[in-house]
Chains A and B, each alone.
Chain A
């Protein structure tokens, strides 16, 4: 089959690789009908994620049709149309039972690697380095899904692929980020980063009862979408002093909750952002936490900072003093996908949201390498790329 493979930093190739097979009793094989490039794939593209190996199949946002099931998988049938969560979870360990699905004990075959770095290992992930299991991803014609009797969500034929695909990661991720803010009526939520997760965090904050959402970015088209589809007030950080602007917009109090939907490759125009760039480029630091610093400084006393943005290593100049002095709550982590998927499918079915509004580019699998660059550089107003592995050639750009 054809698959999008990582060959090295900024090197992506579409290659012919062996078809996946059933390896374990609870597995299923999915014929991928639609898949997407995630913002977190760009961290891999840029070489920020350790333990990637040449030839690894990328992609963790995918859906498709079940073509084969393992002998112990009694929940799925051949022909079922499913969306696959990007986190892999067994459904039976202590963490799965506590609904902490992305912390599953039993799904990472390389748990020892993560234990060396983090003390304990979180769940395995599709196409996201060997430290997270080394599972081949879903930017391919077929994908093997472990523990497929608890993960994949069956979707009704009344909804299109594009309406449900983002249940695989970014919609639940934005939603959990907003839920972690513990929003109460009247609250103001500030969101750093208007990429796909930021857009869904904005929508979700309103769905969960926020009175105002303030969105921060520097790309006009992203800010426009946050304002138009999301209904947020917007701030361009290349233009205004964010801390001063937020203080003014909230009567000197600060936002009740702040969401960092940027993560470890933050850009910025302030002194600390340049300091991060210099240090990471000299391999003296692993992450660039500019957005997170700002979110912590901006947040009101006793507020919550919610972090859906991905971090991987050690943070420099982390303002723990400010977080402590203001008694902040910090919530973070990979999304507990299995908990949110059914709930959010219902919201889509009820017409409360149609997540397909963020799609800007539709391509075939063979166009992936060029599109990784376009997406990374935010050229062509690129916000979200979906791929149809069935359409091998010929980009149709929206």
Chain B
């Protein structure tokens, strides 16, 4: 339900970078402004992104694509990245729900934008999603935590189109008659070409997209099918 966008790096490193940027920016501005010439104006103007970084703690958005890390730790550690939390409750035993989700090939059956997931024997998986314009986004992921009938957590691997991580937990509810599935998904805030694609994949309200996917999941497991009103809708 919550979506937060924060800086992409660790606090101490980001602080040092901020002070350096602020100092360098101020120096350029001073030097440029003190020379009343075309070169001076250019030097002074070149201080803008440094000052922006120093004051706001972020690089201007236009530069984001060049500085973003593809490591989930750097991009998504702590509260960084976009966070989406959604949950759903089903009248299906925990073990069945867990088994269905753990078979990652099943995920595209209820996640609208996922085209396919292939799992290899080493525990790594390859994911393909298709955006509204028909463009593919691909990433490799690995499972980083797995507790039977309780939890699955994963993260994307370097070299992927997106930096993403997430976890899904399975808890018994209503005295064990129901299962509550809670998803926590993170991805790096939109940057560059892939960022724009991700933004369009998740739509303007990422939590709504995830909620609809979880609704499909519940319908598929409880009712055995996802309801449709007409052949086209």
Contacts and interface: CB of A to CB of B under 8 A. Distances in A.
A109 B222 contact: no
A112 B208 contact: yes
B215 A92 contact: no
A92 B222 contact: yes
Contacts of B208: 112
B233 A106 contact: no
Contacts of A146: 227-228
Interface string B201-233: 000000010011001001100111111111101
B91 A23 contact: no
B149 interface: no
Contact of A72 (B211, B224, B226): B224
Contact of A23 (B174, B224, B228): B228
| SS class, residues of chain A in contact with chain B | loop
A24 B222 contact: no
B222 A135 contact: no
A26 interface: yes
Interface residues of B, number: 21
B178 interface: yes
Contacts of B113: none
A124 interface: yes
A21 interface: yes
A147 interface: yes
A26 B229 CA distance: 13
B91 A94 contact: yes
Interface in B191-209: 208
Given A92-B91, A94-B178, A106 B230 contact: no
B89 interface: yes
Given A92-B91, A111-B215, A135 B229 contact: yes
Interface in A104-142: 105-112, 124, 133-136
A173 to B, nearest CB: 23
A378 interface: no
Contact of A124 (B174, B225, B229): B229
Interface string B108-132: 0000000000000000000000000
B233 A134 contact: yes
Nearest to A146: B227
A101 to B, nearest CB: 13
Interface in A299-356: none
A26 B230 contact: no
Interface in A4-31: 21, 23-26
Contacts of A94: 89, 91, 174, 178
A108 B91 contact: no
Nearest to A126: B229
A111 B227 CA distance: 11
B203 to A, nearest CB: 12
A146 to B, nearest CB: 6
Contact of B223 (A92, A134, A136): A92
Interface in B79-121: 89, 91
A112 B227 CA distance: 13
Contacts of B222: 90, 92-93, 105-106
Given A25-B224, A112-B212, A106 B219 contact: yes
B230 A107 contact: no
Nearest to A136: B230
A107 B222 CA distance: 11
A26 B228 CA distance: 12
Contacts of B229: 109-110, 124, 133-136
A90 B230 contact: no
A39 B66 CA distance: 64
A106 B91 CA distance: 12
Nearest to A133: B229
A24 B91 contact: no
B222 to A, nearest CB: 5
B223 A109 contact: no
Contacts of A92: 91, 222-224
Q: Which of B174, B178, B224, B229 has the most CB of A within 10 A?
A: B229
A392 interface: no
Contacts of B228: 23-24, 109, 146
- 9 tightest Cβ-Cβ pairs between the two chains A and B: A90-B223, A134-B229, A106-B223, A24-B225, A106-B219, A135-B229, A109-B227, A23-B228, A92-B222
27 contacts: A21-B231, A23-B228, A23-B230, A24-B225, A24-B227, A26-B224, A90-B219, A90-B227, A91-B223, A92-B91, A92-B222, A94-B89, A94-B91, A105-B218, A106-B222, A106-B227, A107-B223, A108-B227, A109-B227, A109-B229, A109-B233, A112-B208, A112-B211, A124-B227, A133-B229, A134-B229, A136-B230
